[in-house]
Amino acid sequence: MYYRVLLDGIDEVTSKIDPLEFKKIVDIIKEARRIYIIGAGRSGLVAKAFAMRLVHLRKRTFVVGETVVPAMRKQDILIAVSGSGRTKSVVEIAKTAKSIGGKVVAVIGDRQSELAQCSDLIVEIPVPKVKDVISSYDSRQLIGKITLAPLGSLFELSAMIFFECVIAELMRKLEISEEQMKREHTILE
């Protein structure tokens, strides 16, 4: 089945995430007074899902671009999510956050990107780079390298799983149960 191929790809990527980077992002979030989250496109959707879980953990969290976002202050953190690390809007926001004294955490697929260069912490979701991917579906099929994650999906799916693991570790460190998180979930639906 197709899902097994996709899950194997996600497993391959997530197993290569540096455990030290995982620990550092957990520690930064645990101590943060205010957290700002940004991403664009599908990475932005993953970032918003992560922001929601941080709110459930009672962390003051804001999604950049929403109308109710307060001004960022020194020592607040920005978590920027970008598979390429080159999305102009995300890079510009990261540079702005850095210029006012905020800490920038980049969750990216390319450690050599522009976003990485302006970040205090890089968490690399090590997806294959475009140059490393055989572009023809037929060629991939011949050598047994079938992928079902077009246009960055492998980054986004792996990042989502990474963020869920961060939430699980924060639950443990902050001693917040799922029942306590549930109380923070919206009831206005």
Whether 188 is covered by a domain: the verdict is no
Domain containing 94 — which CATH number? 3.40.50.10490
Lookup: tokens for 95: 């540079």
Whether 177 is covered by a domain: the verdict is yes
Q: How high is the pLDDT of residue 129?
A: 67
Confidence check: pLDDT of 159 > 60 = yes
Choose, from 21, 31, 114, 156, the residue flagged as catalytic: 156
Whether 130 is covered by a domain: the verdict is yes
Whether 37 is covered by a domain: the verdict is yes
pTM check: above 0.95: no
Say how many domains are in the chain.
1
Mean pLDDT confidence for 57-86: 95
Whether 160 is covered by a domain: the verdict is yes
Mean pLDDT confidence for 80-96: 96
User: What's the rounded Cα separation, in Å, for the pair 138 and 50?
Assistant: 36
Predicted confidence (pLDDT) per residue in 17-53, tens digit: 999 999 999 999 999 999 999 999 999 999 999 999 9
- Its domain, for residue 61, covers 2-181
Whether 97 is covered by a domain: the verdict is yes
Predicted confidence (pLDDT) per residue in 98-145, tens digit: 999 999 999 999 999 999 999 999 999 998 865 444 444 455 455 455
Q: Among candidates 121, 18, 27, 110, which has minimal Cα distance to 79?
A: 121
| pLDDT, mean over the chain | 88
User: What's the rounded Cα separation, in Å, for the pair 57 and 82?
Assistant: 23
Whether 187 is covered by a domain: the verdict is no
> How far is residue 101 from each of residues 26, 57, 69, 104, measured CA to CA in Å?
20, 25, 17, 9
Residue 156 a catalytic site member = yes
Q: How high is the pLDDT of residue 22?
A: 98
Rg (CA), the chain: 17
Q: Among candidates 91, 96, 69, 68, which has minimal Cα distance to 80?
A: 91
Percent of the chain with pLDDT over 70: 86
